Amino acid sequence: MPSPVHDPAGRSRHTLGIVFGFAAFVLWGFLPGYFLLLKPASPFEIVAWRIIFSIVFCLLILTVTRAWPAFIAIVRQPRLLLMMALAACLIYINWQVFVFAALSGHVIETALGYFINPIVTVSLGVLFLGEKLRRLQWIAVGTSVIAVLVLAINYGSFPWISLSLAFSFGLYGLVKKSVGPKVDAVSGLTLETAWLVPVAVIQLVVVAATGGLTIGTEGVAHTLELVAAGVITMTPLLLFAAASRRLPLVHMGLIQYIAPVLQFVFGAFVLHEALTAVRWFGFGLVWLALAILSIDLLVTGRASRRASPLQA
């Protein structure tokens, strides 16, 4: 079979993967701006509606694609159900922290979290999957640790937003990797969201009893924006899943920097969040670590392609 380099079908598949991946991370990059549109809704109300309308969207996709048999087959496997419950807990933490940060003026810290995420992913591979780090990867991990320490000292407090986002999404990826092809993208997202529906209901009840729900009270546009949170949540996840099936890990790793770059630009130059010289230095160290990691991925990726035959 021809290699993707010389195979028109392979090139088309790769191009489509790039388009899907680019679209996914651009959407994630603009999420802070979208959540700011949802004010005066609180972070807890936003995440609750995000879960409720996401499950509606997922169930609709299952019906349209006639994927119910695959979904039911997964539901009948207790181990996969529990793994999806764990994934749901991790993605819930990620969503709740992210929305809180966006609404409270900490968008730059969300960007830092997703800049750190690739380093966390590499480290989790070493700790849980027995993977070995190459020299450049060790240097990248060490540089990122120094960056976090510099930023923590400068902020005067533990950078919990950034680290919560980085580790929750990193661990989420680890769980998803452990189930692998046993759970397709749509079924997995549906199960994860279904596990969170009781949490969403409790949050809505609590918000209604305390501060009051904003849905339906702030105009038609605001209500539609809350309803659309489900589509806004699921669309990039589905695009990401489609891209990951078509692209090598090296390319996915490089494309993922689009989201935190957009978040950083939005926080620094649109919201004008504070960026001292020390914070610039800390971010510079993070970017240096990512550059080292990217170089390592590109070099090893090229070496692997040279080692592979042109014809398969």
Residue 275 three-state SS: coil
- Across the strands, what pairs with 311? 2
- For 148, residues 6+ apart whose C-beta sits below 8 A from its C-beta are 116, 159, 162, 163, 282
pLDDT given at position 103: 96
311 pLDDT tier (thresholds 50, 70, 90): very low
- Note whether 225 and 46 are within 8 A (CB): no
Identify whether 138 is part of a domain.
yes
- Note whether 58 and 234 are within 8 A (CB): yes
Structure token pair of residue 278: 């020390």
Q: Please check the confidence at residue 133 and state whether its pLDDT lies above 80.
A: no
pLDDT given at position 269: 92
Mean pLDDT calculated for residue range 257-276: 90
Mean pLDDT calculated for residue range 235-249: 80
Q: DSSP states of 21-75 as a string?
A: HHHHHHHHHTHHHHHHHTTTS-HHHHHHHHHHHHHHHHHHHHHHTT-HHHHHHHH
DSSP secondary structure letter of residue 181? G
Identify whether 223 is part of a domain.
yes
Q: Residues, the chain, total? A: 312
**C-alpha to C-alpha distance for 134 and 136, rounded to whole angstroms:** 6
Identify whether 101 is part of a domain.
yes
Q: How many domains does the chain have?
A: 1
* Burial group, residue 273, by CB count within 10 angstroms (0-12, 13-18, 19+): middle
**C-alpha to C-alpha distance for 140 and 134, rounded to whole angstroms:** 10
| Average predicted confidence (pLDDT) for the chain | 86
Question: What angle, rounded to 10 degrees, do the helices at 68-75 and 185-209 form?
Answer: 70
Tell if the pTM clears 0.75, that is, is over it.
Answer: yes
Identify whether 93 is part of a domain.
yes
C-alpha pair distances (Å), 205 with each of 55, 168, 201: 18, 26, 6
Identify whether 312 is part of a domain.
no
Identify whether 1 is part of a domain.
no
Mean pLDDT calculated for residue range 71-84: 93
8 pLDDT tier (thresholds 50, 70, 90): low
Specify the higher pLDDT residue, 37 or 147.
Answer: 37
Q: Please check the confidence at residue 192 and state whether its pLDDT lies above 50.
A: yes
C-alpha pair distances (Å), 161 with each of 66, 107, 241, 254: 39, 10, 25, 23
Question: What angle, rounded to 10 degrees, do the helices at 229-244 and 43-64 form?
Answer: 60
Residue 269: domain span = 8-307
pLDDT given at position 10: 66
pLDDT given at position 140: 83
CB atoms within 10 A of CB 250: 18
Task: Report the percentage of the chain scoring pLDDT > 70.
Answer: 90
pLDDT given at position 286: 86
pLDDT given at position 302: 65
Identify whether 211 is part of a domain.
yes
Dihedral angle sign, alpha carbons of residues 145, 264, 39, 168: negative
pLDDT given at position 309: 46
1 pLDDT tier (thresholds 50, 70, 90): very low
Identify whether 2 is part of a domain.
no
Q: Which region among 25-29, 123-127, 274-278 has the lowest average model confidence (pLDDT)? A: 123-127
**C-alpha to C-alpha distance for 292 and 108, rounded to whole angstroms:** 22
Task: Determine if residue 35 is left, alpha or beta; phi over 0 gives left, psi from -120 to 50 gives alpha, anything else beta.
Answer: alpha
